[in-house]
Amino acid sequence: MSRIGVFGGMGPSATVDFLDKLVKLTPASRDQDHLPVIVASLPHIHDRSSAILGRGRDPLPQLLAGIEMLNRADVGVIAIPCNSSHHWFDEMSRCSKVPLLHIAKACVEAIASSGTDRVAIFATRGALASGFYQRELDARGIQFMIPDPDGTQIQVDACIREVKAGNLAGGAQHLSRACQDAAGQGATTLIMGCTEIPIASREADVSGLALIDSSLELARASVAFALARGWNRTGWDS
């Protein structure tokens, strides 16, 4: 069980971005120093945000099937680089034979709050309705703001949609507008709480906001978990 399980495909580009970060965060000078990873990329899972909002099909049976696939692959930990899917974190955890890493916990732990930070959360409407980021921030006493659903959130939605469609430049334009709005409302830190948003941020004007990249923080947590157990030093037969 000395390998990381990645439950991805939600979406595919975000999964590739997560895997790239996983590799870059691993201290390695040769192939054999890297961490073993098994990826289940399952893009046909029903839209998570629509389901949370009561407007789409329930993805939970598909999510549990993905966890069971990784159970059969004998992984030692599971990372899911899709924020909205964490609405069903407890159900997936009960199905899993191994620990699941929580993307929101990883992000909030990365915020070095000085007491003056005001954190904006950019995520799908479903993830915001679920409230798992808000609960983690509340637990640490960190002030936060969520976008106006009829204003800034429209730009966040468009950013996510364009990245999923492969239009990174268009996604960056929408993200730039959303960041300008958030900074204008006093935000100092931005949680990029959808794994498509960090992809758009490469070309966006983020208006001086400190960025918390959910896929990066999940990758950090995955690497730390695996290195602490020496998974970079085990052979193929381990």
Does 202 score more than 70 pLDDT? yes
Q: Specify the higher pLDDT residue, 58 or 116.
A: 58
Kindly report, residue by residue over 122-137, the tens digit of the pLDDT. Answer: 999 999 999 999 999 9
- Domains in the chain (CATH in brackets) are 4-102+217-233 (3.40.50.1860), 105-214 (3.40.50.1860)
Q: Quick check: 199 and 165 in contact, CB under 8 A?
A: no
Give the pLDDT confidence score for residue 156 in this predicted structure. Answer: 98
Kindly report, residue by residue over 147-200, the tens digit of the pLDDT. Answer: 999 999 999 999 999 999 999 999 999 999 999 999 999 999 999 999 999 999
> Among residues 80, 81, 64, which one has the least CA distance to residue 72?
64
- What is the pTM assigned to this prediction? 0.96
Tokens coding 84:
């909205």
For 123, phi and psi rounded to 5 degrees?
A: -160, 180
Does 21 score more than 70 pLDDT? yes
